[in-house]
Amino acid sequence: MSEHFEALVQWLGQAVAAPQHFTFGYNAETSDFIRFNHAKVRQAGHVEQASGFLKLMDDGRQADLQLTLCGDVDVDQQRLAEALDSLRETLPLLPADPYLQLNTSVWRSHHVHTPELPDAEAIVAQISGSAAGLDLVGIYAAGTISRGFASSHGAFGWHQANSFNLDWSLFHGNGQAVKSNYAGQVWQDEQFVQRLRKASAQLAFLERPAKVLPPGEYRAYLAPAALDEIVGMLSWGGFSAQSIASKSSPLQRLYGGEAQLSPLTHMSEQVSGSLSPAFSEEGYPRKDLALVEGGQAGERLIDSRSAAEYGLVNNGAGWGEAPSALAMAAGDLAESDILRQLGTGLYISNLWYLNYSDLPAGRMTGLTRFATFWVEDGQIQAPVNTMRFDDSVYSLLGSQLEALTAEREMILSTSTYGERQTSSSHLPGALVRKLTLTL
């Protein structure tokens, strides 16, 4: 794939001359998809695809076009030639873009991390064998994801990495389920088996009659998957320079100095070592950014348009200025001590359907999902039916945050809409003194 990308970039370099300039993005993947039901394969497929994102600029104007590539250099060069003709016809019809900010620096970035993944037959044997007798429903997606960027100014970036993502649920005969996930770059049979055993143990508790809780405030433990939903909501403009400048960020009070989170809270955009490329689709190199340090506001995510509009320095943020490799620092709560430290309260495995109930206050609402349990004296007693929470991030990750787990979970995006994604989060679990349930 890298040779294919380089050949197209070389052709573009000859086809586009000053005063016109181009940028060219390249997305490709080679992926296996296997769908399971009752721990047996119900559907399997293999996808190889590549797309190009061509942008042409001249005299403060820009126009772009996306095209599907076939992998044959001669055919794809012809497609690029047709795309260039179309963009050249379009450019004079467009007004100048006041926030167009080109990166004219020359840089090179090359990252290839492709550890060997088990073949599809070995994965099927491992999953089906380990989950024999269980109603495991899920999808396994794995393979190589490639990203490229080049510009007529001499910038060139290539990123290629292997990864896998097994997203599954274990269903009980009563219709209840335990949801789990195993993702990363190096598949380890024992790690998968451990997660399967943990989910299977929780499944047994779903046989018990559900605990009915009245609305109120409860001590709670949020597993990494549940915390991922909360952090994911914060990523909708929370760290965005544009949202902060326009006062539409859910973390406006934090970045405005009016509020703070817990000293235990450290969040960063951890590009190094992640699946996310070290360059943006706009052609800016990316680096690690400290977004929240000890509960205090840190750096913002700044793309080229925000940099131009607000007089800031671009730090490689992508479109939408959302984190793509969010990492939260671990704490000192051992996984084996979670239930004991929780004592009496809620063990929440997952949350869903989150939205803001008061965005300026950083307040969000949502539902508990799948395996949520009532715990007494450090022992799981019963499942809890779906309930709605409504609480503020300044409480959950602020005044009411008691501890974070020493172990963190790598959570890769499960989105396959159009293509597999490279975004991820690396999160601990969180023990909070108080979580508000409303109904």
pLDDT given for residue 319 in this prediction:
87
Whether residue 330 contacts residue 366, with contact meaning beta carbons closer than 8 Å, is answered with no
Residue 246: exposed, middle, or buried by beta-carbon count in 10 A (0-12, 13-18, 19+)? middle
Q: Where are the beta strands (DSSP E) in 172-270?
A: 177-184, 216-222, 267-269
Number of domains in the chain: 2
| Count of C-beta atoms within a 10 Å radius of residue 152 | 21
* Domain final residue, candidates 162, 197, 232: 197
- Considering the domain architecture, whether residues 125 and 241 belong to the same structural domain is answered as no
Chain position carrying tokens 């794995």? 142
Claim to verify: residue 14 and residue 76 sit in the same structural domain: yes
Range(s) of the domain holding residue 182 = 2-197
Can you tell me the mean pLDDT for 280-306? Answer: 96
| Residue 244 sits in the same domain as residue 190 | no
Write out the DSSP string of 282-335. Answer: TS-B---EEEEETTEE---B--HHHHHHHT-------TT---SEEEE---SB-G
Same-domain pairing of 187 and 81: yes
Give the C-alpha separation, 249 to 238, whole Å. 5
pLDDT in tens, 174-212: 989 999 999 999 999 999 999 999 999 999 999 999 999
| Among 68, 146, 75, 156, CA closest to 113 | 146
Q: Are 13 and 151 members of one domain?
A: yes
Position 272 pLDDT exceeds 90: yes
- Residue 295 within any structural domain of the chain: yes
**Within a domain: residue 203?**
no
Q: 336 lies in a domain?
A: yes
Task: Quote the pLDDT of residue 102.
Answer: 86
| Residues 147, 69 share a domain | yes
How many whole angstroms separate alpha carbon 360 and alpha carbon 383? 34
208 in a structural domain? no
226, two tokens = 């549940």
Within this chain, do residues 153 and 259 fall inside the same structural domain, yes or no?
Answer: no
Residue 369: is its pLDDT beyond 90?
A: no
Q: Tell me if 323 is assigned to some domain.
A: yes
Cβ pair 286, 267 in contact under 8 A: no
User: Both 184 and 299 in a single domain?
Assistant: no
Residues 135 and 272 in one domain: no
Residue 304 neighbours by CB under 8 Å, 6+ apart: 99, 100, 101, 103, 282, 284, 314
Q: For residue 223, what are the CA distances in angstroms to 2, 202, 296, 334, 405?
A: 39, 13, 23, 13, 9
Query: Which of 166, 197, 228 is the C-terminal boundary of a domain?
Result: 197
Same domain for 167 and 20: yes
Write down how long the chain is.
439
387: in domain: yes
Within a domain: 90: yes
pTM of the model: 0.94
Positive or negative, the CA dihedral 152, 5, 417, 412 is: negative
CATH number at residue 93: 3.30.2290.10
Residue 164, CA distances (Å) to 32, 42, 186, 238 in order: 9, 19, 8, 28
The Cα 344–Cα 321 span in angstroms is 39
Q: pLDDT by residue (tens digit) across 69-101?
A: 999 999 999 999 999 999 999 999 999 999 998
Both 180 and 295 in one domain: the answer is no
Distances (CA, A) of 48 to 3, 122, 393: 16, 21, 41
Q: Which of 168, 197, 226 is the last residue of a domain?
A: 197
Same domain for 176 and 252?
no
pLDDT, tens digit, 9 for 90 and up, residues 121-160: 999 999 999 999 999 999 999 999 999 999 999 999 999 9
The angle that helices 2-15 and 73-90 make with each other, rounded to 10 degrees, is: 40
- 145 in any annotated domain: yes
